[in-house]
Each structure stands twice: as structure tokens, then as C-alpha cells.
Structure 1
């Protein structure tokens, strides 16, 4: 998710009958693949029909940079399904904490922080899903060289993620040649297109498509610092969160600032905006925040913010992050996931990685300009109640690309209700999800499953189904 908080904050008991869920091409699997098989997870009192694996891929032998992955085969016929790689942003936030444990993964954590339940809208209903904690220093990923944790940045992250995919496919040879799609949210708006670009260049250099990349999709994604700032401030002003004066000051002091390396002049105005906004969840402005005593480092404000939380139905629990912190710090859980490094308490996001982030280009629109002509399927989506990277920011970014509209703005439907809105351009599709916050699959899991189904099939978002009178 998250960009580091405020803007950038952003399991199984296997029975004999389940053994058939190992891929039908398992005879070609590596020995290490089978060692990575997750056979049992604490807190799971149900069976599953799919195999899953967790382990480490070394992306740099010299310094010992190891990335932890967690891979879930599709519920049915995994050999016929594509692979969807999910990345969370921050920079410095765990894809296992967010994308897996509270968004698109099949196994979610109950409020007790010890028990698991099945996510009925998991994306492994339509794809094999692969999560990786990237870069080193995030989640359970680590390096033998401490200096690596202080020198992360966009370029090395893209290079390491490319190396990860290359070596992961060596460990899982049965998936070589399988269609690959990249997905993610928030600061993964940098990671995902940059990785797609690296894969395209890698394939060109090798003279063949050794990594069968078919497309990518990003949600509430950081794309261009100017357009993103401009859109954030306009969104906050338009929904009545900040005053006219503060809105003017934000545009004057912050529009040309970096999201990652914010100037003190901009921070001064952001603090005023924070006071005007009050105690709400900026990632989902119309839902109650978490009332538990849970501090989240706010990168934009450079201060501690305590989010308050109330109890809601399972459809949306504002304290999901707290459940992850409790669960993934259990030694028996770490044993089940083959975790190696246990030098410190597991965190959803690493302040050390975030605060020492190196290169972060002010825009990735130039990357899009190259990839739009590469034949990849490219989608952007946006939860429309997010004030971190809101729908206005994404629309300004798309407008800056000056794309030809091939299907005009319209509503899309889910079970007869408007699920959001969409417009299709030459080379890119944009989808909003009505009522969703920064983590779209957390707030609107059913609609998010509809989204990934449409994306993978290359079909437009669903229209209203007209019922006959007969």
C-alpha cells in the first residue's frame, strides 16, 4: 500500500488429499522449490485447494541481498493461469503485510492476530499470485551488508526485482513462458513501470522474450510529483478538508516538490493542512480510522500520527495492519515461512529504508511514453476516497500523456450497481472504484476481483446488464 504513512507511509494445514494441488509439472520442479513449500501455518483451521511456497531469492551474491517471496498457485488448474506479481510501495512497505494479508491474498488475519480466514475474493481465483518484499530491509527481506539498507533507491530496486524474477523462474521452471502481469499500488507506481521497462530491455538484449511480460496495472499510483501534488491539494480542497488559504499555499510551496524528499518550506504548510484536516484516515476519508494505540510514521508530515479505530464488519476492518504486526512476529509463523533473518521486530514498513531512500525521479511519465508503444496491456485504477494519491492526481497524469480516447467515459457495473467509472485510451485503460480508498482491494474486494478479471482477459469493465420483462 502505502506510501509512507500519510502519503508514503504508502496458511495451511495440508492433507493428503491436497497433494494434487502441486502443479502437474511438479516433476520438473527444483529441490529448493519443494523445500519452500509451506505445509502448515499457525492459526489455520481449514483446508485449501492450492499449493503455496515461501522462501528467499538471492539477488546479489556479493553483498548477500535476499528477497523473501510468497507464491500462491491458482485455486484451479494453475498451469493454465497467468502469474500476477504484486508489489507494495512506501518506499519501504511490505507486500506481504498489505497486498497479501489484507488485500488480494487468499489468507487474511483475524482480529485476534493469531487466526487465519479465507479471503473469498482472493486474486488466486483467477491467477497464480506472487508477492515479494522489496527492496532489502523491507519485511523479512535482508542483506548481509548493512550499507545496502541505507542505499536503496528506484534504480537498484528495479534491477533487483528483475534479477528476482529471473532467478525465481529458475526455481519454478514449470512457469517459464507463463504470461506475467505486474501489479501494485502507491509508490509501486514507480516500481511497476520501472520493472516493466527493465524486463522489456532485458528481453531485447537477450533476443527473445525470456520473461513473458504481457502487461501491468497500478492503483492510486505515484506517477509524477507535480501532477500528483496538484491533484492531492485539489482533492482535499474540493471535498472541504482544507481552507482556501492553505490550498493556495500548498500549490505555491509544494507543487514542484519531491514526494520522497520534501522541502521544509512545503512541510510547514503541510503541518497547517494536517491541523485543518483533523483526525481522519487519509487513505480512506469516509471510513472510521483505527482507535487502537498504533503509531504510523508520517513521511509527509515528518511527525508521529496516531490513527484511531472503531469496529466494523469484516468487509472493512481499519485495524488490519495491527493484526499483521501481531501475526508475523510469532516465531512459529516465521518458522512456517522459512524466515532466516530475525535481528529485529517485523514491521509493516521500514522507517530506515524510507528515510534513507536515494534516487526517486520526479516523474515516470517518460517510462510510460516508451512502454505505451511496446504492446503491453497497461491499466491504471483509482479508489475515489483516497486523499493520498487521489483520483484527481491520476487523471492529471493521464491527461499529460495526451492519449487518444477510444472509448469515452462511462460507468461500469457490479451486480447491477455502479462500481465506478472508466475510460479507454489508445494504449491505456483507466478505472475508478467507487467508495474505495488507497488500498482498493481492502475496501472493495469484490469490485477489485472484477477489476483483475477484466484486466487479465483484456476486456472492458462490465456494463449494466439489462433484464428482460419475461
Structure 2
């Protein structure tokens, strides 16, 4: 038996093992209503009274012994008929960053955290309610935020040896196990249209998880999870093309000198996930000597200089006036999340971080210690794209054009490498009579840029990101006018 066939056999066995647990145990089936009551969040500390919101949060064990569990937060659609709306799973990347810190309270969730972390205020652009105006009425979705892998946020493992297995494979397998068990706890969602969305290193998480769901459905010869597609933003995808795009983006956006650009092109080949010593040296020089204190996630916005921000986030913090633009962008938002989610009353309300879990570490926006033990990182997830495009899933990719961490240049390089037939050629798409970005439709994939957005597109362009979501969920091209 060849090595390739052996790997395929082992993969099939894994899928059968995972999907075998998808059949609802009779005891669990009788108990799901009690489990939902246990997970129901009546009210978060400082939560505004309106709009009314049904929300749930808690833990789902993902290991056989129950000692490894992932934390979730479900915020249902505020529509009159939420049961008719799709379910969207949102993942943040890092690896090691929390979907609560970024997706939930900085980008698309129903609430934002006040600057003093004493309360919350409503997000007018939340994806679970949308924003209605004279121009359009946006689609709504039920939002499921997952802190993954174990060790991120409130998610935990009580087995120290688990830290030796961090990586793409374990993350995908645990997330799939989570979904199978979550749908047992929430069987009313089993028939819903289901989409997986995310950004940054979730460019690995999302397609890898989508493949496990797709393979699980095939192995079971039935639809276990009603996956319709996935969408990723500023997504880490292919080591070579992503890094080639970073070098070109640095130079085309005047972040580095001509001389440094030439040296990078000569010494950085990006044929391995480990940089050569000479490439690392010139990258460090560019960062320390030429680029300066710029947030590469959003190169035209202020950085946060707030001295009290924990260094665990890995980003410098500026007590910059938070309302310097119409979206109310505040670069210090992750520090507010760190304060808020470490409050004991918040943790009690969310059923998090307490007995019997006793998570031994404080909640942080990012746990970069995970990276020290990240053992398997796919060089490229493009083979998964090729497989899932053939499977007919709805796949969209978008890029905020002010992101230098995972820039639009690299994304365009790897999309071009797929050599997909073009269905609709490059065109400007519009929101409220303004150019919101540019788009091109391929056979099996839609690509869009979002003008004036950084790494986290909904932060700086929340209305445009809502329009993007609406058209994605409806399967309609972005508007030409």
C-alpha cells in the first residue's frame, strides 16, 4: 500500500470515528432543553436594555475524556423570525486569538465594550440584526463565536500534554467535534443553512474545518451539518504567495525603501515556513528602522499607546481620541475586552472560567504562547480550495485594502494561481452610491476588496461589510451600482 493510500485510509477512519458521535444519544436528546436552559445568558453586566436578545454561552467538551473543552457564545438573530435565518460560525486566527475579543466585541457582534470596561453599548452594525435604512434592508444571521483552539480565551485543557499537539490538525478536529456536539445541544439548528466565516489565520481554520464537515457528510451518506459554504477575509492561505504579497505591499505603499525591497526580493524565497537567517534579518531591519510604529493590520489608522494594555496581546497600545472617524474606531478596544472578560461577574454571566473548569490563566485577547508549540502549519490550503470548489460550496474571499499583515496583493497572487475561469471581470462594487471596493467572479469563487478597510474589515467599514455579508448569504453578486 502506498503512503498516499495509507493516509487516505487513516483520514477516512478519523472521519468515521468523529461522525459516529454525531448520532444523538437518547439521554442527550431528552436533556438538550435542560442544557440550553443552563447555557442561557439572561443578561451581561452593563448590557443595554434594547434590543432584546436571546444569547447562550458555555463549554462543549471535545476530547473523549472531557478534559479539553471549547467555549462558545451564540447570539441569535433579532429578527421576528430568527428560526428562518442561517447560522454563521465566526472564527478568529492568530493562531491564539479570541473570537470574543475581535469578532464578537470589536467587529460583528451585538455589543461593543465601553472605554472604561464598565459596560456595553449596542453595535449598530451587528451582523445578527443588520442595519436598515432607505437604501436597503440587510440580511440577518444567528452568530456563533468559538474560542479555538483549547487555551484561547476561556477554552481550556486540563491535560498538560495537550500543549504538545497544538496545530492546524488538532484545531480542525476539535472544532469539528465541537460542532457535532453543539448541534446535539441545539438540535433546532440542525436543518439551518450553515456557513463558516473568519479572518486572518482563520484562513487555515475555515477551509480545513469546512473540509472535515464536507467529508463527514460524505462518510455518513447524509447531511449531518447543512454546510452551504465559507467566506474568509484577509486570510492566511499560502506561505509563498502571502509573503510575496507582503514584500510587494510594503514597497508599493511606501513603507520601505527601494534598497530594502531589492534586498528582500533577493534573499526571501519563501519556500519554507521558516525564514532564512538573511531574510529574517532584513525583515527585522525593515520593521525596526523603516516602517516604524505603524499598525500593519491597518496602516492608515492610529496605534494604541495605552500604557496599561497587557503585553500578552502582542500589539502596542494610544490613548487616541476614539471618535476620530464616523465609525467610532478606537485602537485600544482589545484592552477594554481584556478588562471586561476578566471581571468575575462577566464570567459568571457567561458560565465561564469557574468550577469545575478552573482555567489556570487570565482571559487574554491573544494567547501567543500557543505559537511556541504549534507543530503543524499547512504550507498551503489551496488543495482544499480546489476540492471544495469542485464540491460546489459557496466560497467568497475578501480583502481590506489597507492591511499589510495579510495584504490584498498576496491574496490576488494565490487566487490567480488557481487558474479559475473568469465569469465576471473586475469591476467596482457600490454601497450608497460610493465605490465600496472591487470584485471579480470566478467559476467557483468570488473575490472582493473592501475599500478603506484594514485587517479587520468590519471595524473601519462596518456598513460595507454588512453589504458584503448580505450578498454572500443571498448568493448574489456585489452591486455594480
Q: Give TM-score scaled by structure 1 length.
A: 0.89
Aligned positions of 1:379-398 closer than 5 A: 379-398=396-415
Return the offset for 1:262: 4.3
Partner of 1:78: 82
Return the offset for 1:30: 2.4
Partner of 1:451: 468
Contact 1:29 1:174 in 2 (8 A): no
Contact 1:372 1:427 in 2 (8 A): yes
Partner of 2:159: 145
Do residues 412 (structure 1) and 415 (structure 2) align? no
What are structure 2's unaligned runs of at least 5 residues? 1-28, 130-139
Return the offset for 1:72: 0.9
In structure 2, the residue corresponding to 1:166 is in which secondary structure? helix
Cα distance between partner residues in 1 of 2:321 and 2:281: 34
Contact 1:149 1:352 in 2 (8 A): no
Cα distance between partner residues in 1 of 2:322 and 2:272: 36
Cα distance between partner residues in 2 of 1:96 and 1:61: 26
Cα distance between partner residues in 2 of 1:350 and 1:434: 30
In structure 1, the residue corresponding to 2:390 is in which secondary structure? coil
Q: 1:45 to 1:211 in 2, by over 3 A?
A: closer
Partner of 2:61: 58
Cα distance between partner residues in 2 of 1:368 and 1:296: 36
Return the offset for 1:297: 6.2
Note the alpha carbon deviations across 1:173-224, whole angstroms, 9 max, x for none.
1111111000000000000000111111100100011110000000000010
Partner of 1:354: 371
Do residues 312 (structure 1) and 322 (structure 2) align? yes
Return the offset for 1:62: 2.4
Return the offset for 1:246: 1.6
Cα distance between partner residues in 1 of 2:66 and 2:163: 11
Cα distance between partner residues in 2 of 1:81 and 1:27: 25
The RMSD of aligned alpha carbons is: 1.8
In structure 2, the residue corresponding to 1:42 is in which secondary structure? coil
Cα distance between partner residues in 2 of 1:123 and 1:29: 26
Partner of 1:233: 247
Match of 1:214 among 228, 248, 257: 228
Contact 1:28 1:173 in 2 (8 A): no
Cα distance between partner residues in 1 of 2:65 and 2:37: 26
In structure 2, the residue corresponding to 1:67 is in which secondary structure? strand
Q: 1:391 to 1:32 in 2, by over 3 A?
A: same
Cα distance between partner residues in 2 of 1:195 and 1:237: 34
Aligned positions of 1:2-151 closer than 5 A: 29-62=32-65, 64-76=67-79, 77-125=81-129, 126-151=140-165
What are structure 1's unaligned runs of at least 5 residues? 1-25, 299-303, 465-470
Return the offset for 1:306: 3.0
Match of 1:179 among 162, 181, 193: 193
Cα distance between partner residues in 2 of 1:306 and 1:73: 34
Partner of 1:268: 281
Contact 1:403 1:426 in 2 (8 A): yes
Q: Give the paired residue count.
A: 433
Return the offset for 1:367: 0.7
In structure 2, the residue corresponding to 1:124 is in which secondary structure? coil
Cα distance between partner residues in 1 of 2:82 and 2:269: 46
Return the offset for 1:268: 1.3
Note the alpha carbon deviations across 1:81-113, whole angstroms, 9 max, x for none.
110000000001101111001001011101111
Cα distance between partner residues in 1 of 2:303 and 2:387: 40
Cα distance between partner residues in 1 of 2:479 and 2:234: 21
Return the offset for 1:382: 0.3
Q: Give TM-score scaled by structure 2 length.
A: 0.87
